[in-house]
Amino acid sequence: MARLLVQLKLRLLTNALRASRPARISFIISTVFAVLVAVGTFVVLALLRGSAAPVTQTAVVFTVFAFGWLILPLLVFGLDGTLDPATLALYPLRTRPLAVGLLAASATGAWPVANVIGLLGVTVGLARGPLGLLVAVVAVLLQVLFCIVLARFVTTGLAGMLRSRRGKDFAAFLIIPIFALYETFAQVVPRLAAEGKITTRAFEGIDRWLRWLPPGLAAHAIQDASDGHAGAALLRLGLLAAVILALGALWIRSLGRSLVTVDTSTQSSKVRSAALPFGRFGIGGTVAARFLLYQRREPGAIVRWCIIGVVMLAASVSTIRTPAYHVGLIISAVLAGIMLSVFQANTIGLTGPAFGLEASSLNGLRALRGYFAGHSVALAFIAVPLSLVLSVGLATFAGHPGDWFWGVAIDLCAIGAALGLSSLLSATTAYPVQKRVGSPVPNAADGYGSQAFAGGMGSLFGVLLISAPVILALIFTHGLADAVRIPLLVVCAAAYGAGLAWAGCYLAAVASVRRIPELCQDALRSKL
Amino acid sequence: MGEPAIVVRGLRKSFGTKEAVAGIDLEIAAGSFAGLVGPNGAGKTTSLSMMTGLLRPDAGQIVVDGKDVWADPPAAKAIMGVVPAEAQLFERLSGAELLEYAGRLRGMPASEARSRATQLLDVLDLAEDARRLVADYSTGMRKKAMLGCALIHNPAVLFLDEPLEGVDPVSADVIRRLLTRFVGSGSTVLFSSHVMELVEQVCDHVSIIDQGHIVATGTIDQVRGGKTLQQAFIDLVGSRATGEEGLTWLGSSSS
């Protein structure tokens, strides 16, 4: 069974290589990343040799890897056909050989190998002497085995849920903390390290409780063996092995159960309201009502709004507490518009086959203007308050609450530009999208990457160019009294933004009025 | 035969080198329950998409209830309802919201759309699930919701693409009764299917399409010519099962 499942995994990997160009590229990128992680981790762990407390940092690295294995299956569930035990439920297989097979299949692939190679950096960084080396190799193998069993336990436990609509919705939200964590690492950690606020001493407190977690047991076993405490090292390895066995037993039990039970934790609930709002506002109000409900109910939409918020905050981090805080306020506000335009530049493709229902009533310029206006109003309903609150908050955090209008004026203009551009791009460069496993938001379908890229670039440069007059006005009106300057700038920026949004709706309606069947075909090809 | 509700002349569509619809002519009388049958890939969905203004034809004319679909799309779309084969629903709306949305898109006042939505959901046996998200509906419930969306503005002509595909017998019966009632009031239904028994049971007019051509059209009795419709269909499009001699092991329980 183990051999068969490993062969299946290898076949799936080679098929992915042959499937299509994008699949081949993503496979190659994934493999390159795995190699980079292997080499990087090896080097980082090896460099710990000679540091004050290498065991503490090693324990932190081991724990980070275990955390990664815990989170990743929730995001990439379905990417690996061998992950879901339900695909094997029809075959007459006993649970134990099935478990061993699934475990072996899990250990096959670039990432598990990269983990083993990377973590073997401890043989240089932490281990000393032949006994230390031997224990280091065993500890690394046990650590990777622990990670795999942990990931399997989580996946099997959640398999039913992750197959259901609500479970997938829940998994989509996990991208938000991960994205926020990434942004923190990318923006905050280098700065704190440069300022000397992150040192090896910062980890000392963590080790007190980390050493009793399975990854900490592995790291400390190596330390004990290197110090000549063979008994303590063996005891720690034994404890780790016992944890793996216990987790494995629990996993086998849950595997047996998950093959024959249906998940009931995600049964559908009813929506509160029975009617759509904005009944008096014609087709624009109707479309706005639907689109607003979608912003609340569709996980992808919520994820996009959260990403806009995180990007706004992260972009200002490096300057907001410095004398150049204006730069942070400007970048953050412009990025709100750019991100909104990038995310909404293909509204029709993102609507998917359901656009067919709307297309049957979109006849003539008036209806189409209403359609695009409905979208813009719904987006402005969320984008304006979100960006204004964050911009005012950033100005306050910078210690200059009186400069709130910098961000606000640019927000109003950039969001107007984003709404106008997204309407126009949706009407002129619509393309089908495809929801891929592991991604909470749909991406361009195969063969349409260049259109998506063009939309993204159009959004980036369009919003930047259109916002430039407001940025320049903010800079060059420095001599005016605040009582005149602030209302003038904010009102003009709001009027400019509203004008841009309206112009976008108008032009989009003109551009799409004779192309409804073609837009409809693009939308029908979307797979959501 | 009464006034034609659907007239199709010289309809053509190619995708690359493949000619999906190779010049079809069709005339369906008003008040008919008409079936368009054919094997998979015969051109049924492509033809219906062009007839409903969702796919631009390469050539040909389609007139629905006196309105030219491609010369005056707004007028034609206003009098037709469409139930596509693939679910084209807003998954994150509830059933009640979806039907109201469809009605309001058609220009109906919100209160009227809401009231018709409630009545339709009741008749379609979806009243209890009216506040559940469409994403949580079963296949049969989705088909019924799509039918509700297509009927809410009381169209003169209804186009349905495989309306009973994957639908359980109870839901199928609900759909069938509603459609029969709709036709009884003088409206016209054209639906595509490859289930001959169903077509034979409900239709008064049938057209058989194969490889983009209409190979037979007329009343059910004219087309089947004394045989069952299934037999007439197989005779016209040809049986394609071959190579069964090789499965000598099949049927023995000793694996």
pLDDT in tens, A490-516: 999 999 999 999 999 999 999 999 899
Q: CB neighbours of A475 closer than 8 A, spacing ≥ 6?
A: none
Nearest-Cα distance to chain B for A294, in Å, is 6
Q: CB neighbours of B72 closer than 8 A, spacing ≥ 6?
A: none
Mean pLDDT of A408-432: 95
Chain A residue closest in CA terms to B56: A517
Q: Do B88 and A357 touch (CB under 8 A)?
A: yes
Q: Do B54 and A275 touch (CB under 8 A)?
A: no
With 80 as the cut, is the pLDDT of residue A489 above it?
yes
**pLDDT tier at A411, thresholds 50, 70, 90:** very high
Sequence-ordered alpha helix ranges (H) in B73-160: 73-78, 95-105, 110-123, 139-151
With 90 as the cut, is the pLDDT of residue B195 above it?
no
Q: What is the pLDDT of residue A212?
A: 84
With 50 as the cut, is the pLDDT of residue A387 above it?
yes
Residues A44 and B152: their CA atoms lie apart, in Å, by 65
DSSP element (H, E) containing A214: helix A214-226
Q: Do B132 and A165 touch (CB under 8 A)?
A: no
For tokens 């009388």, name the residue.
B29
With 90 as the cut, is the pLDDT of residue A299 above it?
no
Q: Lowest mean pLDDT of A218-222, A229-233, A263-267, A368-372, name the range.
A: A263-267
Chain B residue closest in CA terms to A515: B56
- Select from A271, A276, A283 the Cβ nearest to the Cβ of B131: A271
What pLDDT digit, counting tens, does each position of A250-296 carry? Answer: 888 887 776 666 555 445 567 777 788 887 888 999 999 999 999 98
With 80 as the cut, is the pLDDT of residue B120 above it?
yes
**pLDDT tier at B64, thresholds 50, 70, 90:** very high
With 50 as the cut, is the pLDDT of residue A226 above it?
yes
Residues B125 and B148: their CA atoms lie apart, in Å, by 11
3-class secondary-structure state, position A199: coil
With 60 as the cut, is the pLDDT of residue A438 above it?
no
Q: Do B89 and A357 touch (CB under 8 A)?
A: yes
| B52–chain A Cβ distance below 8 A for any pair | yes
Contact B90, B102 (CB under 8 A): no
Q: What is the pLDDT of residue B253?
A: 65
Percent share of chain A, pLDDT over 70: 88
- Select from A279, A293, A520 the Cβ nearest to the Cβ of B92: A293
Mean pLDDT of A90-115: 83
User: Which DSSP state fits A185?
Assistant: I
What pLDDT digit, counting tens, does each position of B20-49 carry? Answer: 999 999 999 999 999 999 888 888 999 999
- Select from A271, A274, A364 the Cβ nearest to the Cβ of B133: A271
Nearest-Cα distance to chain B for A517, in Å, is 5
Mean pLDDT of A444-467: 88
- Select from B94, B114, B149 the Cβ nearest to the Cβ of A271: B94
| B92–chain A Cβ distance below 8 A for any pair | yes
| A354–chain B Cβ distance below 8 A for any pair | yes
Q: Do A270 and B107 touch (CB under 8 A)?
A: no
Q: Under CATH, domain B1-79+157-162+181-255 is a member of which superfamily?
A: P-loop containing nucleotide triphosphate hydrolases (3.40.50.300)
- Chains A and B: how many Cβ contacts under 8 Å? 111
| B226–chain A Cβ distance below 8 A for any pair | no
Mean pLDDT of A471-488: 85
Q: What is the pLDDT of residue A159?
A: 66
Q: Do B133 and A358 touch (CB under 8 A)?
A: no
Token readout for A138 is 């065993």
Rounded to the nearest integer, the mean pLDDT of chain B is 88
Q: Do A275 and B114 touch (CB under 8 A)?
A: yes
| A265–chain B Cβ distance below 8 A for any pair | no
Closest by Cα among B6, B40, B61 to B211: B40
Q: Do B100 and A275 touch (CB under 8 A)?
A: yes
Contact A351, A432 (CB under 8 A): no
Chain B residues with CB under 8 Å of A358 CB are 105
Chain B residues with CB under 8 Å of A517 CB are 53-56
Q: Do A353 and B105 touch (CB under 8 A)?
A: no
| B255–chain A Cβ distance below 8 A for any pair | no
Q: What is the pLDDT of residue A284?
A: 93
| A275–chain B Cβ distance below 8 A for any pair | yes
| A527–chain B Cβ distance below 8 A for any pair | no
Chain A residues with CB under 8 Å of B130 CB are 274
Contact B112, B91 (CB under 8 A): no
Q: B4-15 and B18-29 as β-strands: parallel, antiparallel, unpaired?
A: antiparallel
Nearest-Cα distance to chain B for A448, in Å, is 18
For an interface test with A, the pick among B92, B108, B112 (most A C-beta atoms closer than 10 Å) comes out as B92
- Select from A294, A361, A520 the Cβ nearest to the Cβ of B92: A294
Q: Do B86 and A298 touch (CB under 8 A)?
A: no
Domain range summary for chain B, segments of one domain joined by +: 1-79+157-162+181-255, 88-154
**pLDDT tier at A437, thresholds 50, 70, 90:** low
The A residues from 164 to 183 touching B (CB cutoff 8 Å) are 165
Nearest-Cα distance to chain B for A468, in Å, is 38
The top-scoring range by mean pLDDT among A2-6, A114-118, A278-282, B165-169 is A114-118
What pLDDT digit, counting tens, does each position of A152-177 carry? Answer: 887 777 666 666 666 677 777 777 77
**pLDDT tier at A414, thresholds 50, 70, 90:** very high
**Residue B11 phi, psi (nearest 5):** -75, 125
Percent share of chain B, pLDDT over 90: 53
Q: What is the pLDDT of residue B201?
A: 85
Token readout for A460 is 């980036």
Q: What is the pLDDT of residue A204?
A: 65
Q: What is the pLDDT of residue A322?
A: 83
| B208–chain A Cβ distance below 8 A for any pair | no
| A290–chain B Cβ distance below 8 A for any pair | yes
- Widest distance between CA atoms in chain B: 67
Nearest-Cα distance to chain B for A298, in Å, is 7
Is the Cα torsion angle A36, A42, A46, A51 positive or negative in sign?
positive
Contact A259, A89 (CB under 8 A): yes
Mean pLDDT of B95-106: 93
Rounded to the nearest integer, the mean pLDDT of chain A is 85
Q: What is the pLDDT of residue A78?
A: 47
Q: With the CA atoms of A33, A34, A35 and A38 taken in that order, what torsion angle do they form, in degrees rounded to the nearest 10? A: 120
Q: Do B133 and A363 touch (CB under 8 A)?
A: no
Nearest-Cα distance to chain A for B54, in Å, is 5
Answer with the residue of higher pLDDT: B249 or A34: A34
Nearest-Cα distance to chain A for B236, in Å, is 32
Contact B65, B74 (CB under 8 A): no
From residue B100, alpha-carbon distances to A374, B113, B145, B158 in Å are: 16, 5, 11, 19
**pLDDT tier at A197, thresholds 50, 70, 90:** low
